[in-house]
Amino acid sequence: SSEVLEAIESVIEDVLKSLAQNKAPVLTLANRSDWRNIEFKDSVGLQMIPHSTTRQIRSDCPSSAPRFALMLKILSMIYKMVQSNTYATKRDIYYSDTLLFGSQSIVDSIINDISCMLQIPRRSLHILSTTKGFVAGNLSYTEEDGTKVNCTYSATAVAVPSNVQGIKNLISHAKFILIVEKDATFQRLLDDDFCTKLSPCIMITGRGIPDLNTRFLVRKLWDAFQIPIFTLMDADPHGVEIMCIYKYGSVSMSFEAHHLTVPSIKWLGLLPSDLERLNIHKDVLIPFTKQDQNKLASIQKRPYIACQPLWKRELEIMAASKLKAEIQVLTSLSSDYLSRVYLPNKLQFGGWI
């Protein structure tokens, strides 16, 4: 916490120095959404280069002055929270003054900018994000406040904790972790008792694009247990994008890649080649939109695809067919095909890439 306070004091000191010299204060931060500032490392994923290009948020420019003011406002809120050892969610910050902030997305973006500028993980800024992910299966742990959580005997999933950093005493006999893209598929596997039928496992869903807590939990479980992690996604560009976020991280959070990525994650399904292999009828597949084509083309150009020849091949199959499939397409074979046939066969015979 002293590191956070010192970092904020240093920013404010620079603002005061500028004012003392009759100069307009500026806040300088790395340009975190520019691919030119990102390098790909096999062992980490997408990470920010040490000397990246920066952008300035000026106090004397009409277009950036409001953002400058909001950054100082949130810095002062963080400073008070760290001093008093209290926490707030991003929603709490927005609702503390909705008129001033304007929208939740502005608050979210400023918090990420501050984290990047101070080079301090967002968790250390005492800001928690509301979790949307769920975890189930063979896992128990203790939360920071001493609450014991046992996912093993729970018929329903447990919400991913909002302070993943604080959880301890992680215990599991799981043989693997399965990341499921969608909540509906996750619930279906839970209903089919998938976590205990085949072999003990842990299931996680970020319910679409994962929030930071879900990504951080996947990383924490990987560090704790070093067991295989598989992904179960729709066979479409959006599903591939989500899987890449878990595995390699995202451009906008590349400055925190070390805590969030697990490059050893494997793609279990739904593979584009599975659709052909299982004779899935074309009628149940969905034609690509222009947006799908653009998304796939952008993924194919990314640095990490070049070092994944098998992934590259699957993306080529998808591009050639211009068709996509949701995991639910397997119900066209039989209602419980996913949990009874597809996943057991894949896991037993190594059908992942």
Active site residues: 95
Q: Which of these, 237, 157, 271, lies nearest to 204 by C-alpha position?
A: 157
Please give the C-alpha separations between residue 157 and each of 43, 276, 288, 329, in angstroms, as whole numbers: 31, 33, 33, 24
Cα dihedral 209, 212, 217, 219 sign = positive
At residue 267, φ and ψ (nearest 5 deg) are: -90, 110
Three-state SS for 192?
Answer: coil
Question: Would the CA dihedral through 257, 262, 146, 203 be positive or negative?
Answer: positive
Please say whether the beta carbons of 221 and 177 come within 8 A: yes
Round to whole Å and give the CA distance between 138 and 285.
34
DSSP 242-290: HHHHHHH--STTGGGHHHH--TT-EEEE--HHHHHHTT--GGGSEEPPH
DSSP-H helix ranges across the chain? 2-20, 65-84, 90-96, 98-101, 104-118, 183-191, 194-197, 212-225, 237-248, 257-260, 272-277, 290-300, 303-306, 309-321, 337, 343-349
Query: Coil, strand or helix: which one is 228?
Result: coil
92-99 contacts at long range (C-beta below 8 A, 24 or more positions apart): 93/127
